[in-house]
Amino acid sequence: MTIEVRLFASLADAVGQRSLAVEMPADSNVEQLWIELGKLHPALAKSKLRPLVACDMEYADWSDSLQGVKEVAFLPPVSGG
């Protein structure tokens, strides 16, 4: 299945684009997608950030299945001061 991935802020900067399509097996979950992104874009794998994730515009957990999901967004943690 093809998952449309959206990246924001420093994650998009690390990859050099804000969106990309990734082919994943039907039984994949969010964490497996993140691992695959790290293989495709090593700058993400080097990051120690654990981004927030949303599947089809709703916050999700790393263990959530990608079954039926069209879009996954990864958002870096926000810090303020």
8 Å CB contact between 69 and 5:
no
Task: For residue 8, give the nearest of 80, 76, 77, 78 by alpha carbon.
Answer: 76
Kindly tell me if the per-residue pLDDT of 31 is higher than 90: yes
Domain ranges of the chain: 2-75
> Could you tell me the pTM of the whole model?
0.91
8 Å CB contact between 66 and 55:
yes
- What CATH architecture applies to the domain 2-75? Roll (3.10)
Q: What digits encode the pLDDT tens for the residues 33-65?
A: 999 999 999 988 887 778 999 999 999 999 999
